[in-house]
Amino acid sequence: MIVELMRRMLQYHWPMAALISFSRTTIGQQCDQRSCVTWTGCPKGCGVLAASSQLFFVLYHLSPTPAVCGSPLLNWQVAGAPPAPQNIQPLIPSPSSTLHPPSLRPSLTPPPHAAMEAVGLVARLENLNAHDFIQMLSDHLVDRVYPCEGPMTLLRRICITWLFLYLGSLVVYFLFATLDYLIYHKLLARQILPDGYDKTVEIRREIYMSVTSLAIMAGLSVPGEILVHLGYSKVYTDPAEHGYVYLCMSPILFIAFSDCLIYFLHRGLHHPRLYKHIHKPHHSFINTTPFAAFAFHPLDGYTQGMPYQIFVFLFPFHSAAHLISLIFVSMWTINIHDRATFGIPGVNGAAHHTIHHTTFKSNYGQYFTLWDKICGTFKDPRLWKKAGAPVMSEKEVYGKDA
């Protein structure tokens, strides 16, 4: 009844009518089909609605969210949405009607096509998941080189999943590592890094090792991601499926779970029999920069990343929260290698990780200092500096064969 009442108000209240008519007019100008403007259904099948009509979603029978003709990015179908109604009369009277006189017709410049795509993308964030990106890579990038009709084959899915993981990792790595480096190692170097240690040759080696290792680590991660895409994990897309309280708490559970497992995996990699074969390449960087974040032996990086894949097979995790959490993980890994710390109690920051790189036997944690304190491997950066910031060599810790 309330919805119907509001619909009637829209029909007879001219200011609201002008607003809706403006939104449908501007979006309609993005398409060459006049039927898009009148909301009677686009002959191209795109179901164009005004971007502003998102605000009035419930008033229009929960019809599909807006899209722009010729824009495959915005033609994703919202899960559970009914099909777009065809040949219906517009709720708002025509411009010639006395309810919408010519003096009220909007004449503003329509928004650019890119802006409309951005609006549609944001509107679909609740359904964001890696599968959509992989499908887009297949349809709009790989198809240009290797066309494929019908369902995606397993081999094609494996290749595209690797491409998605590797390219995504490179984008996150170079974007955030570069920003971090410019801020803390250039603009604020004197305040943040009093030692001023910075050698270009080390940065180049960090980047080279990171770029090559990420390619292999992405390949090792493909089987787990394929299982997620095929529905064998507990990743879900409906925010209400497990409740909004759990939706908000699940990233915290994700961080706590991975922090615990990574502590013991990381500490295990420091066992003499494993260290020299797997973990040693990463510890060749003593005074690290953000670009050392992924400078691992591939098996080392994959091992420490396993908890992130294991989590989604044990606990329900929303698809968008999963993607965002993985981006956060990468940003955090970059952050703890920049040697810029803010001394937040209980947080394993860059100062703690610097001690780890210079002493080898302490501060194994990833996000928090909890497990280091429980297991007796915690070393306070303030006390370490007061003691003269002692540095240990590999030979002192692991012997001559290290």
Encode pLDDT of 129-148 as tens digits: 556 656 665 565 556 555 66
Secondary structure (DSSP) of 232-291: -SSEE--TTSS-HHHHHHHHHHHHHHHHHHHHHHHHHHTSHHHIIIIIHHHHT-SS--GG
- Calculate the average pLDDT of the chain: 73
Cα torsion 223, 226, 232, 234 to 10°: value is 100
pTM more than 0.75:
no
What the block records as the tokens of 66 is: 């807006």
Query: 166 pLDDT exceeds 90?
Result: yes
Return the ∠ at Cα 101 (arms to 97 and 106), rounded to 5°. Answer: 120
Measured in degrees and rounded to the nearest 5, phi and psi for residue 157 equal -65, -40
Orientation angle between helical segments 200-229 and 154-182, nearest 10 degrees: 140
> What's the angle, vertex CA 50, arms to CA 17 and CA 8, rounded to 5?
35
Q: Whole-angstrom Cα distance, residue 349 to residue 352?
A: 5
Q: What pLDDT digit, counting tens, does each position of 59-101 carry?
A: 333 333 333 333 333 333 434 444 544 544 444 444 444 444 5
What tens digit of pLDDT does each residue of 276-305 get? Answer: 899 999 999 888 889 999 999 999 999 999
Going from the C-alpha of 272 to that of each of 134, 275, 297, the distances in angstroms are 40, 5, 16
- Separation of alpha carbons 320 and 125, rounded Å: 7
Closest-CA residue to 215 (of 299, 300, 298, 157):
298
What is the C-alpha to C-alpha distance for residues 392 and 239, in angstroms, rounded to an integer?
Answer: 49
Do residues 116 and 98 touch, judged by C-beta distance below 8 A?
no
